Amino acid sequence: MSSNTEPRTEKLTFRRYRDGDVKWESWRDQIFQASWTHKCPTYVQSTPPCQGSCPSGEDIRGYLNIVRGIEKPPAGMPWQEYAFRRLTEANPFPSVMGRVCPAPCETGCNRNEVEDHVGINSVEHFLGEYAIANNLKFVAPQVKTGRKVAVIGGGPAGLSCAYQLALKGHAVTIFDEHELLGGMMRYGIPGFRTPREVLDAEIQRIVDLGVEVRLKCRIGTDVALPELRRDYQAVFLGMGAQSGRPLPAPGGDAPNVVTATSFLKAFNDGRLRHVGKRVVVIGGGDTSIDVATVARRLGHVEHAKPTDFAEYAIAGHIAHDVASVSAKQGAEVTLTSVFDVDRMQANRHEIEQAQAEGIAIRGGLAPVRVVKDANGRAIALVVARCEAKFVGPRLEIKVSEGTEEEIPCDLVVSAIGQAVDFTGLEEFDIGKGAVATDRNYQIPGKAGTFAGGDVIRPHLLTTAIGHGAIAAEGIDRFLRGEDQERRPKVDVHVFDLKRKMVEKGLAFSETHEPILGTDRSNAAIHNYENRSDRYVIPHEELFLGHFTFVARRKRHVITLSRESALGNFEERLQPLAEADAVAEAKRCMSCGQCFECDNCVVYCPQTAVARVPKKEATTGRYVYTDYDKCIGCHICADVCPTGYIQMGLGE
């Protein structure tokens, strides 16, 4: 028999005992004395940390269980479609978010305690691509409520809110001042990260629900706010923060010192075709990486005329001549951040890709002032070494005296934040360039007016999607004359066992709430409790020893070099093949829900735990406990990989 003699390089983190332990502890006393505890196994559904970390609250565990084959789709529906529909209950943009979301869900994934997180983002990407390729549509409700809602802003927050409201039967009109919908997904992210045909397809699915769209229409100027309130029963503010923050340093008013939002909008509009030879980007977040990589691809024209200066195209005065594009050469791009590179807020993968493309990323530098020439244009940015840290919500930057240096530049881009344009909507400005809301995202003192996304606080696209969905729930209750409910501690879309049972044709009495029951009565769901709205299950409650080392299936990424980046606007990220998507979903540990491993059945010494008869079984209801046999020995809970079995009072 052959054996592998090579030393193992992976650090195993899932062992319950240390290497070298030889002491064996018998469970004999546990088994015979456990009845003293008077506790029996209960089946407790909890929120997995991936889902608890998702700002849009996707049922991640749910759609991964569908992809891996544990939860079966209804008859006649492909599993890919069923998983897509589960995913889009929370997020209508799986293909876009599967590409650009920095995936905080993967940071929270309990599989990190074994070897590496599950590639949640890549499975989402796969499902989004399947839906577009197969022209999947959302299903509009047959019954309409007759109530009308105005959504201001067609970005991720506004589109998410409109989507959820349309599914509830309300008539929705989106007002947006741009030529196309999408907000920052279109005007703030370059097309090589969010292909426009993908974005358009996912937006069109929402519009096809019957959502009315009014483009090139700004509320507060083109349409007065009182007029809007007269014609609509509720209003959602989702206009985003699409005004960039200028550089707060002496000389920052130079014409070739621009904001990241204006830079990216000029590029996405097609006006900006090339930049100066030396570009300096100030930031450290994902937006600054986008600016730097766009500048690297655009390059510069060697003998540029004053009319070719980038600031004129960015300001919208004149578009670059397409004929000059063929003469482009590479640009020298430097990105500075007040944080060290390893503490930058940008996605680590995007930082590495930018560095591979020849972009110089320098951390621990604060902008001090801009050096201008005789014509008032910036020719250098003076920076100094610094230490930056957050004190509460406030960023404190301590500059080291005597460390100043100049970075030559032809264009400076400030990517240090965004601001809301409240022109015509000044009544909503709390004085800090933002809107204040309660936990239901309703504006205090303005019943029926809700807000979400960057107007509250600039953050991730998926955060804006979550805000829109929560606000839609609040708007729906407002329109129905119901009180606003208190938001749950964990605000996520959860697996619904009752709905799954009804879907399979399993009925139980409605005389009791379906959270507690017995092993002989169908008055409720047997010894089951759903804590998903208030409890995120940690890795300490799982039996990690059940899971073996399985390498993550990664998407192929085309890494460009300094030379190949120039003029390359092709997408770099390739979706997983179907087999790889399924294999990746199988790495999910289904934290907080049964994934039918049979450990509890096999190891129960009293045969008290048994499988539910097949005709009565469904996802989340795979086993039951016979309390006449159970002695409360805890073994089933000890060997449950997912933490679904917990010891409670049973009946």
* The pLDDT of residue 517: 43
Judge contact between 290 and 281, C-beta under 8 A.
no
Domain that holds residue 197: 148-241+420-479
For residues 25-45, average pLDDT: 67
* The pLDDT of residue 466: 96
Whole-angstrom Cα distance, residue 522 to residue 222? Answer: 59
Q: How confident is the model at residue 19 (pLDDT cuts 50, 70, 90)?
A: low
pLDDT surpasses 50 at 585: yes
End-to-end CA distance of the chain: 52
Of 559, 100, 464, 427, the residue nearest 285 (C-alpha): 100
- Same domain, yes or no: 431 and 401: no
Is pTM, for the whole model, over 0.95?
Answer: no
The C-alpha torsion from 131 through 135 and 136 to 138, rounded to 10°, is: 120
* The pLDDT of residue 311: 84
Instruction: Dump pLDDT digits (tens) for 221-278.
Output: 999 999 999 999 999 999 998 888 999 999 999 999 999 999 999 999 888 988 989 9
* The pLDDT of residue 28: 63
- Same domain, yes or no: 408 and 425: no
For residues 476-495, average pLDDT: 90
pLDDT surpasses 60 at 30: no
Task: Taking the CA atoms of 122, 126, 131 and 133 in sequence, report the sign of the dihedral they define.
Answer: positive
Which tokens is 268 given?
């996405």
Instruction: Dump pLDDT digits (tens) for 380-398.
Output: 999 999 999 988 878 899 9
* The pLDDT of residue 2: 41
- Same domain, yes or no: 201 and 332: no
Angle 128-59-203 (CA atoms, 0-180°, nearest 5)? 35
* The pLDDT of residue 97: 97
Q: Select from 417, 441, 458 the last residue of a domain.
A: 417
* Residue 562 in domain: no
Q: How confident is the model at residue 651 (pLDDT cuts 50, 70, 90)?
A: very low
3-state secondary structure (DSSP) of residue 328 = strand
If you average pLDDT over every residue of the chain, what do you get?
89
* The pLDDT of residue 4: 46
- Same domain, yes or no: 463 and 365: no
Q: How confident is the model at residue 513 (pLDDT cuts 50, 70, 90)?
A: very low
* Residue 62 in domain: no
Q: How confident is the model at residue 507 (pLDDT cuts 50, 70, 90)?
A: low
* The pLDDT of residue 392: 80
Whole-angstrom Cα distance, residue 40 to residue 649? Answer: 6
3-state secondary structure (DSSP) of residue 324 = helix
* The pLDDT of residue 327: 59
Pairing of strands 300-301, 328-329: antiparallel
Q: Select from 417, 446, 470 the last residue of a domain.
A: 417
* The pLDDT of residue 631: 84
Strands (E), 37-185: 40-45, 148-152, 171-175
* Residue 217 in domain: yes
Which tokens is 51 given?
């889902």
pLDDT surpasses 70 at 24: no
pLDDT surpasses 50 at 130: yes
* Residue 571 in domain: no
* Residue 525 in domain: yes
- Same domain, yes or no: 413 and 439: no
Which tokens is 107 given?
């940071």
Whole-angstrom Cα distance, residue 295 to residue 289? Answer: 10
Which tokens is 584 given?
């990746």
Whole-angstrom Cα distance, residue 130 to residue 217? Answer: 34
Q: What percent of the chain has pLDDT over 70?
A: 89
Q: Select from 391, 417, 443 the last residue of a domain.
A: 417
* The pLDDT of residue 305: 72
- Same domain, yes or no: 212 and 263: no
pLDDT surpasses 80 at 9: no
* Residue 309 in domain: yes
Q: What percent of the chain has pLDDT over 90?
A: 70
* The pLDDT of residue 281: 97
Q: What is the DSSP letter of 288?
A: H
Q: Give the distance, in angstroms, between the CA of residue 52 and the centroid of all CA atoms in the same chain.
A: 11
Q: Which of 92-106, 148-162, 516-530, 597-611 has the lowest mean pLDDT?
A: 516-530
Instruction: Dump pLDDT digits (tens) for 267-326.
Output: 998 889 889 899 999 999 999 999 999 999 999 887 777 777 888 888 876 676 655 555
pLDDT surpasses 70 at 516: no
Judge contact between 284 and 318, C-beta under 8 A.
no
Please name the amino acid found at residue 305: K
- Same domain, yes or no: 170 and 188: yes
- Same domain, yes or no: 471 and 367: no
Buried b / exposed e over 237-259, threshold 16 CB at 10 Å, is bbbbbbbbbbbebebbebbbbbb
For residues 625-633, average pLDDT: 85
Angle, in degrees to the nearest 10, between helices 120-133 and 578-585: 140
Strand partners, 47: 536
CATH at 346: 3.50.50.60
Whole-angstrom Cα distance, residue 224 to residue 576? Answer: 48
* Beta carbons within 8 Å of 39's beta carbon, 6+ residues apart: 632, 634, 647, 648, 649, 650
* The pLDDT of residue 83: 98
Q: What is the DSSP letter of 303?
A: T
Choose between 198 and 306: higher pLDDT: 198
Which tokens is 538 given?
């940690």
Whole-angstrom Cα distance, residue 650 to residue 627? Answer: 8
Total domains present in the chain: 3
Whole-angstrom Cα distance, residue 44 to residue 66? Answer: 20
* The pLDDT of residue 514: 43
Q: How confident is the model at residue 148 (pLDDT cuts 50, 70, 90)?
A: very high
Q: Which of 182-196, 375-389, 464-478, 624-638 has the lowest mean pLDDT?
A: 624-638
Question: Residue 57 — φ and ψ, nearest 5°?
Answer: 70, 30
Q: Residue 646: which H helix or E strand, with range?
A: strand 645-648
Choose between 334 and 329: higher pLDDT: 334
- Same domain, yes or no: 640 and 503: yes
* The pLDDT of residue 634: 86
Please name the amino acid found at residue 32: F
Question: Residue 363 — φ and ψ, nearest 5°?
Answer: -100, 165
- Same domain, yes or no: 262 and 395: yes
For residues 323-347, average pLDDT: 85
Q: What is the DSSP letter of 630?
A: -
- Same domain, yes or no: 632 and 504: yes
- Same domain, yes or no: 233 and 323: no
Whole-angstrom Cα distance, residue 545 to residue 13? Answer: 9
Strand partners, 44: 529
* Residue 424 in domain: yes
Pairing of strands 40-45, 645-648: antiparallel
Q: How confident is the model at residue 88 (pLDDT cuts 50, 70, 90)?
A: very high
Strands (E), 342-460: 360-363, 365-372, 378-391, 394-399, 405-408, 411-414, 418-419, 449-451
* Residue 501 in domain: yes
